[in-house]
Structures are given as C-alpha cells and as structure tokens.
Amino acid sequence: MALRPEEASRKILSFLAGRKGKATLEEVCENLNLNPSPAMRAVLLLKEKGFLKVEEEERQVFKLTPEGLEYASSGLPERRLLKLLLEQGASMPLSQVFEQAQLPREKVNIALGWLVRKGWGEIVKGAGLLKATLTEPPAEGDDEKLLSLLARKGELDGEAVKAEGLEQALNQLKRRGLLEVKEQKVWRLSLTEGGWRAAESLPTQLEAKPVVTLLTGELLRSGKWRKVEFQRYDVTARPPSLYPGKKHFYLEFLEEVRDILLSMGFEEAWGPYVETEFWNFDVLFQPQDHPAREIHDSYQLKNPAKGRLPPKRIVSAVRRTHEDGWKTGSKGWRYRWNPEIARRLVLRTQTTAVSARSLAGGVKPPLKIFCLSKVFRPDVLDAKHSMEFHQCDGIMGDWNLTLRHLLGFFVEFCGRLGFKEVKFAPSYFPFTEPSVEVFVKHPRLGWVEIAGSGVFRPEVTLPLGVKFPVLAWGAGIGRLAMIRLGIDDIRELHTQKLDMLRRFKV
C-alpha cells in the first residue's frame, strides 16, 4: 500500500505554498515523510500539469576516506613528524627519521614532502639532515580544521565548506586523497502561477483510497479490487541502467599500448622490480655520486641490502668506462668506481634497466624490444605525482638506424593513439646522444611532453658487447593515459569509484 499520487501531489502543493513556493525534493520528502520514488512521480505529474517548475543541478558532497579519518583522529603525518623533530632538538639525520617516526615508510615520505611544502622544515641534502624551521608547533591549519569538521559532521557539501571559509583546504585534502567526492542531483521545486492557484483551491479533507501495485487473486476473489486504486505506470519511462562487469579503463589503455607496439613488430621484455644499482644506474653511464642515488630519490632496500653483479667481463668494462672511458672514445667520469655501491639493491626507478639487461643478453640486429611495467620513486602523492607509476621503455637496434627512424617511430606510435600532431625538441639525458623530447598536441591542454628519447651512447652499448646503433625511448605512460582519457588527477588512474568506472566506455 502507498499514498495515492493525487494525494501526494496535493500535499506537496500545500507544503510549497507554506514555504513561499520554493523547496528542494529532499526537503519535501523529509517534511512530508515521503519516500523519494513516489515523491518524484508526484513532482513530475505536477510539472506536466504546469503547476511546478523543476530545476536539476549537480552538487558535490565530501566525506573523509579511511586515511582521512585516521589523520583526523591521530593528526596529519607532517605535524607528528614536526613534533618528533622538535623533541629531538630541531634536527635529525634522515636515517633516524625513518626509524623513529613511528609511521609506515610511505607516510614518512608524505610527511617529509608536506613538512617542506608548509615551510615547517627543510632537508639539508649534503648533510642528510632534516631540520625544523620553527621553534614550536604552529597553530591548527585550515586543512586540519576541515578534517575535524568532516569527522564530526560525516558529510559536507560545497556550500557548507564555503560558509566556513575552507575552500582552499578542501582542494588540498582532495589532492592528498583524503576526501571522497560524491555527485548528487538536487531537484529545486518552485510553484508556477497555476501552481499557486491550485494550492489555494485545495480541499481541506481528502478521501484516501489505498493504492496497490499488483493485482492479486485475493483482490479478485474478495472483490476488494473495487475499493482500491491501482498504481499508474508510465510506459514511456526509461528502464533502470544496467552496469555489467568490465575491465578497468586504465588496464584497457595499457593493453591498447601493448597491442600497438606488438603490431609494430616489437617484442615485450620483463625485468625485476628489485634491481641492483648496477643495472639501474651504472650500466646507463650514471656516475655513482649522481643525485638520483640519494635516499630521497630512490627506494633502497634494507634487508637484503645488496645483490649480485653480472659476469666480470661486463663489470670490468662498465668500471673502466666510468673511470677513464675505456675504448668508447669518452674520458669517463674520472673517479674510482666502487663495486659495493653497484651491488646495492633499489626498487627500480626506470624500465630502461630492462632495456640494458636485454642488450647484455647477446642480441643480434635487427631488434625491437619494449617493456611496459612499474617503476618506483619517492615522492609526495598528489594530483600530478605518485610513488609508483607505469613507464614504457623501448629500444630499436640495427646497423643502418639513425635519429630520423626514431622520430618516424613516434609519429606512427602517437598517430595510432589518436594524436595527429607531434613535435620534437633537443634535450639531454646521461645515456643518450643526441637526445630528444617528444610532445603531442592535446585539444585542451596544448603541447604536452610525453617521452624522452635518443641514441644510446657508446658508453652504454660497448660495455654490453653491442657495436651497432641502438635507439632508445622512455614514455611516462600514466601521463599519456591522463591526456588520452581526459583525467586531471593521476590517482584516478587507479580509482575504485563505481560512478567513474561506469562512465568510461569499454
């Protein structure tokens, strides 16, 4: 049984007349104790009769993620880190910070980034120290105020946040992934002139009949069907949407890139996530005092801390190349190469290590190899940065290859991904010469860099026993996916939000 549509319509007209002719559907349901579905039917009926004007608008509602709830109760990680720092005399070695922070490793990285960004501290890179720039903890910030407010209220919409003057804090918490955003539709109702006249002429008493939605045998046998009103159905109404299972849109994009490269004659190669610095840096002619090897620029393993080096032939050639250039025509980096540094284990920072391993396997020209996989770099998680992301590296080798072949490859590859305009700019990378950056034209963002590329230097190829030219390239596949899919936040590439997953086409 349910309220008759006519009765619900009259109650809604009467309610709106008492509210100066305006209210939201949510307010109507709450005050008249109506379920949303029959209330919506009654509203649409009144609209068809010309009694109501209905305006639909989108509203964002915010609530804390599990991580946001944790920070609301225990404090932001940068504040907890600052407290530890001040207790230790305002400065600490970075190694002790990771040991004493009582935070997971990834949250220590987040805390370090925000500590510096907020001006609460600084990293003295040469000394490996974390130093506070404050003598006492600062007052509660707007981001912390909004965390507390959301923890108390549960949910807030944009207007409520604006009323508190916390719009900037809202954007900051969204970038940090501490908020869940829900899209809600709001129906705003207002009486027309005809609606006002209808509301004024409403009878004071209504004779109600029970409304049924199903004709049963009992109603027929007893004759009660004569005393009820049957629910009206709109046969022109659209059926409910169905959302069948499908693959995540980012996985689909990665498969598309993989299929394009395979169709262009490339073979896929794989390599370990945990890599020695030898394969991640040394073999790519990056000196052992390069800043990329610092603890804040690469994840270093604590246990086990070191791995095995490749055969002595390769190690000796790489050592000589670093020290004096060996027979590559280079002068090298002019320092004493240390095999113990080369043995240190890191989470690989680039899939170029897989390209180097492939070349060391005794390959013969022609060859076309790519690796599409994950790399890891310490960073502050926000809309544009992540500690874990996909990279796509590739190499092409043959005796007659030149830089023109590399540029032609990118024109073809980008064209198959839907980017018709491609341009190139000279650049510098430690392991290629000449080096080129690749840009594509995006209809909304303009020219966007998507890859670095070039011809491997002899300092890379000769120690691996490769004497023919090798063209190399590396693309930030996450950035390419964001451009192609129209996404502004890198975290959305891994989203589990059903509304967003349903919105993307298969």
Instruction: Mean pLDDT check: name the lowest of 44-48, 222-226, 237-241, 495-499.
Output: 237-241
Same domain, 254 and 385: yes
Same domain, 345 and 406: yes
Q: From CA 256, how far away is CA 254, in angstroms rounded?
A: 5
As for how many domains the chain has, the answer is 4
Is 166 a domain residue?
A: yes
DSSP H or E segment with residue 408: helix 403-416
Alpha helices, DSSP H only, in 235-370? Answer: 249-263, 277-280, 312-324, 339-342, 352-359
Q: Are 76 and 143 in contact (CB under 8 A)?
A: yes
Over its C-alpha atoms, the chain yields an Rg (Å, rounded) of 32
Q: Does residue 408 surpass a pLDDT of 50? A: yes
Same domain, 19 and 87: no
Instruction: Mean pLDDT check: name the lowest of 161-175, 220-234, 337-351, 420-434.
Output: 220-234
Q: Where are the beta strands (DSSP E) in 65-112?
A: 91-93
What was the pLDDT predicted at 205? 42
Find which of 171-185, 323-337, 474-488 is predicted with most confidence, using mean pLDDT: 323-337
DSSP 8-state class, residue 232: P
Same domain, 311 and 437: yes
**Residue type present at position 79:** R
Instruction: Mean pLDDT check: name the lowest of 28-32, 425-429, 466-470.
Output: 28-32
Helix 5-17 and helix 36-48, axial crossing angle in degrees, nearest 10? 80
What was the pLDDT predicted at 209? 64
Instruction: Assign residue 96 the CATH number of its domain.
Output: 1.10.10
Same domain, 50 and 86: no
Q: Locate 97 and state its tokens.
A: 């910070």
Mean pLDDT confidence for 363-374: 92
With a CB cutoff of 8 Å and minimum separation 6, the contacts of 4 are: 208, 209, 211, 229
Same domain, 357 and 223: no
Is 237 a domain residue?
A: no
Is 399 a domain residue?
A: yes
Same domain, 364 and 223: no
Q: What percent of the chain has pLDDT over 90?
A: 34
- pLDDT, greater one: 4 or 40: 40
Instruction: Assign residue 47 the CATH number of its domain.
Output: 1.10.10.10
Same domain, 171 and 80: no
Is 240 a domain residue?
A: no
Same domain, 16 and 110: no
Find which of 234-238, 262-266, 298-302, 414-418 is predicted with most confidence, using mean pLDDT: 262-266
Q: Does residue 297 surpass a pLDDT of 60? A: yes
Cα 495 from chain centre: 7
Instruction: Assign residue 306 the CATH number of its domain.
Output: 3.30.930.10
What was the pLDDT predicted at 206? 44
Q: Which domain holds residue 386?
A: 250-503
pLDDT digits (tens, 9 = 90+) for 435-474: 999 998 877 778 888 899 999 999 999 999 999 999 999 9
Give yes or no for a cis peptide into 304 (omega within 30° of 0).
Answer: yes
What was the pLDDT predicted at 235? 74
pLDDT digits (tens, 9 = 90+) for 129-163: 888 888 888 888 888 888 888 888 888 888 788 88
Task: Work out the pLDDT band at 62, boundaries 50, 70, 90.
Answer: confident
Tell me which of 169, 195, 230 is where a domain ends.
230
What was the pLDDT predicted at 444? 74
What was the pLDDT predicted at 6? 67
Same domain, 387 and 295: yes
β-pairing, 121-124 vs 129-132, is: antiparallel
Same domain, 14 and 156: no
Same domain, 73 and 157: no
Q: Please provide the average confidence, as pLDDT, over all residues in the chain.
A: 85
Task: Work out the pLDDT band at 1, boundaries 50, 70, 90.
Answer: very low
Q: From CA 380, how far away is CA 69, in angstroms rounded?
A: 19
Is 390 a domain residue?
A: yes
Residue 13 DSSP SS3 = helix
Q: Are 150 and 156 in contact (CB under 8 A)?
A: yes
Is 154 a domain residue?
A: yes
